[in-house]
Chains A and B, each alone.
Chain A
């Protein structure tokens, strides 16, 4: 069985995550006076033709640019397969087409937004642009959409069915969907700002968006960030089941809790929902450096791809940015990192990575 390496990264998010070192200009989303925060746009015209820029929704553009950045970072121009995850898919075009249907009573419709509303539009458009005729999958399973893509890629690389795979997580905001999420209590009230994600007791989160892409290969390169040891997903777990599942997961990988150098947790400031993490922070992870990121990325179904981007950077730079630390514990070196994410008790994922040279 071959090993699986992260050999390139590209990330577009609510932070400056391109043309930069590592979050040195980070801004806390909870202090933005708004609870739906847009991604910082790259210069699209450096990557996409002007006519396509006008036609494409933000998620598609961000996916294309983030994937191009990852390829460049890995110094390759082609891959064997493209696998994406997206919780909401191309929601901007879906809304546009649906509104047109309702507002015009099914008349005077044009197909463009329907065509682009399909969930696999990002994967399809990347393939079209690169002329990549290989395997092309899109996962749409809420908060483990990205980990599903990662798991699929990992199996194929291990079995040497493919040698290089572009894996990414993409989600975008759309006006009405965000309004719906607010009235449903998923996103915090607009008047609630200047809170701390770690200590928030109110319901809801700050919503973000973005695209993070990874070049995975089954050979190590000079640019390798990490080796992916394992990925596991669960439909639903009770709070009291998580600890056992994590310990089982580590045991299957012959890694002890003491060997973990940092944990990356999906805290999003949604009151009771964060008990899933708090429970671990205070007990089994008590003596480990703990990292969080959704105060930087915002919450969205594929926010965990930002988490993996951050974990990869931690291994490469051997530093945890102060802005991302949950506690003040530090380690001399960072070799093995465990990531845990869930969304309202559903779609739990464990991802275990280690330094490529470790």
Chain B
């Protein structure tokens, strides 16, 4: 996490040429890749011998474990604890490696079970020793925001005392080729909200946060890093993959989140935008931001030039970044921006900026018209 924060402060991007996956698109795309092999990740997890961990599960287990340690949790089952994870590719990285091979020989058949999204969460939960409530959300690129939303609701409804929430997605040929056929992959570094933006860079990542009830905080005298004060999910109901031009779903999601938090738009000090740098998203999101905030839009930026778009994990990374922003009173820059979009007057924050932040709003949108907004507030 410290490495992430330092990169955000120094403007150092995590986008590079792909190394871990053999793909014919190697030279025509750039990605946010974690430069560790599966063998190195397993070693880091101290998992030896046969296992059915997909790369998605490995990344998730590392991040979830860090979150649990960071929250000072010693016994994972001492309170009613849940894990809500998000993934879009699940174990696709293994399925695409061994697809025909499964029928030909036995060696890799243990990964057959790793294909479904739930398997990565099971592996993470088992790695943490968590027996209780475990589930997985998959709503494409808004998935992790929805995991955080469910976690907050489970605590609010007193169903659980503590919930580990977040998401994990590994890079795969499946997603690389999928987004490639949709013609929304940039051949260079992604440039959110720029008039000449060329598309997104895919990324891989896992990020988790620990949500705890007021009761735990009081009883254990815990230091609160930030509050989840608002959340909203809405459906654009416009097209399976494209967002509506007026950003209806995004508008509704932000409106709901503001209502849940009892805040008005003027209270939001910084927007961590979804900002994928596709033609469609940035226009739709920008329009929705304008509809909510009017002429008084606070500083906003997309941090995807640092990380790439990590699909189901994206909102979890950005939730962590939002909390870091609140803790340090810093707005992270929207790298690579040069020219304002012609459709509106919105200009993202391009330089690192110090500002007292009380409330940060974070957007995440996905296929299927899925639109989510979270609001984080200073503790």
Contact = CB atoms under 8 A, between A and B. Distances in A.
B248 to A, nearest CB: 7
Contacts, number: 212
B163 interface: no
Contacts of A177: 115
Contacts of A138: 137-139, 368
A101 B233 contact: no
A283 interface: no
Nearest to B182: A111
A5 to B, nearest CB: 18
B252 interface: yes
B interface, by DSSP: helix, strand, loop or mixed?
Answer: mixed
A179 to B, nearest CB: 6
Contacts of B338: none
Interface residues of B, number: 69
A114 B178 contact: yes
Interface string A185-228: 01000000000000000000000000000000000000000000
B44 interface: no
A137 B157 contact: no
A333 interface: no
Contacts of B125: 235-236
B234 A128 contact: no
Contacts of B134: 141, 233-235, 347
B181 A133 contact: no
B199 interface: no
Contacts of B25: 106
A156 B239 CA distance: 26
Interface in A106-149: 106-107, 109-111, 114-121, 123-125, 127-128, 130-142, 144-145, 148
Contacts of B23: 106
Nearest to B234: A133
Interface string A160-180: 000000000000000011011
Nearest to A129: B237
Contacts of A88: 115-116
A310 B174 CA distance: 38
Contact of A101 (B118, B177, B370): B177
B177 A144 contact: no
A241 to B, nearest CB: 8
A141 B135 contact: yes
A152 interface: yes
Contacts of B180: 109
B103 interface: yes
B154 interface: yes
A121 B139 contact: no
Interface in B208-247: 233-241
Contacts of B248: 133
B50 interface: no
A266 interface: no
B88 interface: yes
A236 B126 contact: yes
Contact of B116 (A120, A124, A140, A234): A140
B240 A235 contact: no
A241 B250 CA distance: 45
A345 to B, nearest CB: 10
| A128, A133, A144, A236: most-surrounded residue (chain B CB, <10 A) | A133
Nearest to A147: B135
Interface string A344-358: 001100000000000
A87 B102 contact: no
Contact of A152 (B87, B150, B156, B239): B150
Contacts of A107: 24
A180 B130 CA distance: 29
B79 interface: no
Given A111-B178, A136-B139, A180 B112 contact: yes
Nearest to B236: A133
A177 B150 CA distance: 30
Contacts of A97: 174, 177-178
A120 B87 CA distance: 12
A116 B178 CA distance: 11
B137 A139 contact: yes
Nearest to B98: A180
Nearest to A232: B133
B231 to A, nearest CB: 10
B5 interface: no
Given A105-B24, A124-B235, A144-B135, 7 more contacts: A123-B368, A127-B235, A128-B238, A130-B237, A133-B237, A135-B234, A140-B118
Q: Ordered nearest first, which 9 A-B pairs have the shortest CB separation?
A: A124-B368, A142-B118, A114-B178, A140-B117, A119-B138, A235-B134, A141-B118, A111-B181, A148-B135
